[in-house]
Chains A and B, each alone.
Chain A
Amino acid sequence: MGDRLKGRNAVVTGAGRGIGKAVAVALAEEGANVVVCDLGVAVDGSGTDQSPADQTAAECRKFGGKAIAQFGNVSSFSDAEAAIKSCVDTFGRIDILCNIAGIDKPKMIWNMTEQEWDQVVGVHLKGTFNFIRHAAPLMREQKYGRIINCTSEAWLGGVTHLNYGAAKGGITTLTWGAAQELGPSGITVNAICPRAKTRMTDDPKVREMVVKRVEKGLMDASVLKRMDREMVDPSAFAKVVAFLASDDAALINGQVFLTTALTVARYSKPEAVAQVENPAEGPWTLEAIKAGFSADKLLKGYVNPAPPKPEEKK
């Protein structure tokens, strides 16, 4: 219980369960009033249920602040506007926006349907844009705001949910861009890259796989140890978000933080680390490019994430 967010008003999306709920409660614990947004869907985005948002709002109120529930769909531009408006209309202004809402529809690229792509990108990426778009004019006007988005390590690659990874990459860049555009107006925009046990990640098969690999000596035992330490309720790290949402984090802008029960880390941005000059005045030639690659230093440190499987001999 603290008072770092006393008198501040927050909108949290995906606040009905998991990370969103933990964040909403952490903000309330620090004294913020909270608009709890959740459509109450399943992990794959299907169905609706008002009770998760209502329950989180009730939990938030236990800390003495105010909380209201919103049941809109974050991927709807007008629902997002309504959620931001309800914060301003009910509490007087909006200081904090946490975009956590997300769904997952895992498939390999060659099996993914158009709908699976559209829905996942719609909820994550457009949902995040929608809320920032409607909050930004108000925050600029008052010259104060704290925006925290939710990205994922899937941003850097992985298999079986290219839709999810692409959406998270979009959110990461949106975080960097919004930080540059809004920073001069006293608004910070940062993102978290969380690891936690939620409906979306709680898969006993993953742990079994890791256990088997450790037993076979294919994986270091510390991987399992770390996993067990980190696959816990997201309330373990929700205060990282509360800190980023506070006055005390005014100078932290445009950053992405890995957040787990065990670790907080800051991500660098991608950067050009090695360069080859065109030896000629004219256009690049394939010979010069080939020479550039074979110079060895260009791809120093690069590891092919999935080299071709050797042809099986029949």
Chain B
Amino acid sequence: MADRLKGRNAVVTGAGSGIGKAVSLSLAKEGANIVACDLGGGTDGKGASTSLADATVDECKKLGVQAIPQYGSVADFKAAEAMIKACVETFGRIDILVNVAGIDRAKMLWNLSEEDWDVVIAVHLKGTFNTIRHAAPFMREQKYGRIVNTISEAWVGTVGHCNYGAAKGGIASLTYAAAWELGKYGVTCNAICPRAATRMTMGPEVLAGYKKRVESGLWTKERYDEVTHVATADYLAAIPTYLASEAAGKINGCIFGSAGAFFSYWAPAKESAIYNRDWDNYGPWTVDEVEKCMPNLLKGYINPAPPEEKK
């Protein structure tokens, strides 16, 4: 029990289970009042239930803070507004916003339905926009705020759920942009890239999928072990909690790998190889010229998925 967030009020999405729940409890342990938002659906976004959010609220209250549930969908602009408003109206203001809500619909690109794409983008990417959009005016006005988003290592490319990866890539960029726009008002916006055992990462169907990847040679046994030997979400919950504290005021626009055993700083992509033409060469590029500069630009490059040998 501690008091680093005493008197602070937080909205946490996806707070009913997994990482969102662990973060809610971790914030509450430090004294923050919590709005625990969860639609109570499955990992595929189907179904709804009030019991998940309610259970988190009960556990937060046991830690001596105030807590209320919200049952709306983060993908709904108005429901997100209601979550932020509930925090302001019940607790007086909003200091902390942690966006964790997410779903997964894993398919190869050529099998993804339009709906599989739309709902995954809506919950992750639009959901993160929705809550930030409604929290930003309050935080800007009070010149204080801590926003922590959740992305994933799928951000740098993933096989089997391009919808999920694209949503996470969008959230990473949104995190950078929100940090640029809100930083000068005393609001920070960072993101975590978590590794934790949750129903999304370690459910029975997911484990079966991992095994298939090893069997098909897509993954090595080492990769499988690395992915499956992970701690529960409570191990890493202190990392977003730290980012939500006053002490982290100078950390803005950063992405942190977050696991039980380590945390890491993810540097953004950068121009790693550059070819400049002559300043005075004003003609359009020719294909030959492009071809000539490629070997230098591609130094150190490894094709992530070379064509399969023809049989």
Give me the interface of A with B, judged by CB distance under 8 Å. 2, 4, 30, 77, 108-110, 112, 114, 117-118, 121, 125-126, 129-130, 132-133, 136-137, 140, 143, 154-163, 165-174, 176-186, 225, 229, 235-240, 242-243, 246, 248-258, 261-278, 282-286, 288-290, 292-293, 298-299, 301-302, 304-309
Judge if B204 is at the interface, Cβ distance under 8 Å: no
Judge if B239 is at the interface, Cβ distance under 8 Å: yes
CA–CA, A290 and B165, complex, Å: 30
| Docked-complex contact A174 and B238, CB < 8 angstroms | no
Given contact pairs A265-B273, A270-B267, A109 touches B262 in the complex (Cβ within 8 A): no
List 19 extra interface pairs beyond A4-B287, A306-B252, CB under 8 A. Answer: A77-B114, A121-B126, A166-B129, A170-B173, A173-B156, A177-B162, A252-B294, A256-B269, A261-B282, A261-B285, A264-B274, A267-B271, A272-B264, A274-B264, A283-B237, A289-B238, A290-B242, A304-B252, A305-B179
Given contact pairs A239-B285, A242-B287, A307 touches B156 in the complex (Cβ within 8 A): no
| Docked-complex contact A265 and B271, CB < 8 angstroms | yes
Chain B 240-258 per-residue mask, 1 if CB under 8 angstroms from chain A, else 0: 0110010111111111010
CA–CA, A289 and B272, complex, Å: 30
Judge if B1 is at the interface, Cβ distance under 8 Å: no
Number of interface residues of B (CB under 8 A): 111
CA–CA, A196 and B237, complex, Å: 44
| Docked-complex contact A173 and B166, CB < 8 angstroms | yes
What are 7 sample pairs from A and B whose C-beta atoms fall under 8 A apart? A125-B166, A155-B269, A168-B173, A184-B306, A252-B303, A284-B263, A289-B263
Given contact pairs A243-B291, A265-B273, A278-B262, A301 touches B305 in the complex (Cβ within 8 A): no
* Residue in A109, A118, A255 whose beta carbon sits within 8 Å of that of B132 in the complex: A109
Given contact pairs A239-B284, A265-B271, A253 touches B303 in the complex (Cβ within 8 A): yes
| Docked-complex contact B275 and A181, CB < 8 angstroms | no
* Residue in A30, A156, A266 whose beta carbon sits within 8 Å of that of B176 in the complex: A156
| Docked-complex contact A254 and B110, CB < 8 angstroms | no
CA–CA, A209 and B108, complex, Å: 46
Q: Nearest Cβ distance between residue A297 and chain B, in whole angstroms?
A: 9
Given contact pairs A109-B136, A158-B177, A174-B169, A238 touches B284 in the complex (Cβ within 8 A): yes
* Residue in A252, A257, A283 whose beta carbon sits within 8 Å of that of B235 in the complex: A283
Judge if B224 is at the interface, Cβ distance under 8 Å: no
| Docked-complex contact B303 and A251, CB < 8 angstroms | yes
CA–CA, A238 and B143, complex, Å: 45
CA–CA, A110 and B145, complex, Å: 14
Judge if B174 is at the interface, Cβ distance under 8 Å: yes
| Docked-complex contact B263 and A275, CB < 8 angstroms | yes
Judge if B208 is at the interface, Cβ distance under 8 Å: no
Judge if B157 is at the interface, Cβ distance under 8 Å: yes
CA–CA, A253 and B302, complex, Å: 9
CA–CA, A265 and B275, complex, Å: 6
CA–CA, A292 and B117, complex, Å: 38
CA–CA, A282 and B34, complex, Å: 24
Given contact pairs A77-B114, A156-B269, A284-B238, A173 touches B174 in the complex (Cβ within 8 A): no
| Docked-complex contact A305 and B110, CB < 8 angstroms | no
| Docked-complex contact B180 and A305, CB < 8 angstroms | yes
The 5 closest A-B CB pairs, nearest first, are A169-B173, A173-B169, A306-B183, A183-B305, A176-B157
Given contact pairs A265-B297, A304-B250, A283 touches B125 in the complex (Cβ within 8 A): no
Given contact pairs A184-B306, A276-B262, A267 touches B173 in the complex (Cβ within 8 A): no
Q: Nearest Cβ distance between residue A135 and chain B, in whole angstroms?
A: 9
| Docked-complex contact A277 and B262, CB < 8 angstroms | yes
Judge if B112 is at the interface, Cβ distance under 8 Å: yes
CA–CA, A161 and B109, complex, Å: 28
* Residue in B108, B252, B265 whose beta carbon sits within 8 Å of that of A307 in the complex: B252
Chain B 165-188 per-residue mask, 1 if CB under 8 angstroms from chain A, else 0: 111111111101111111111100
Q: Nearest Cβ distance between residue B194 and chain A, in whole angstroms?
A: 12
Residues of A within 8 A of B132 (CB): 109
Given contact pairs A158-B177, A262-B277, A169 touches B306 in the complex (Cβ within 8 A): no
| Docked-complex contact A299 and B182, CB < 8 angstroms | no
| Docked-complex contact A121 and B125, CB < 8 angstroms | yes
Q: Nearest Cβ distance between residue B238 and chain A, in whole angstroms?
A: 4
Judge if B293 is at the interface, Cβ distance under 8 Å: yes
CA–CA, A257 and B301, complex, Å: 13
CA–CA, A103 and B212, complex, Å: 41
* Residue in A77, A269, A283, A308 whose beta carbon sits within 8 Å of that of B260 in the complex: A283
Given contact pairs A178-B109, A254-B304, A268-B270, A156 touches B284 in the complex (Cβ within 8 A): no
Judge if B61 is at the interface, Cβ distance under 8 Å: no
| Docked-complex contact A243 and B159, CB < 8 angstroms | no
CA–CA, A194 and B238, complex, Å: 40
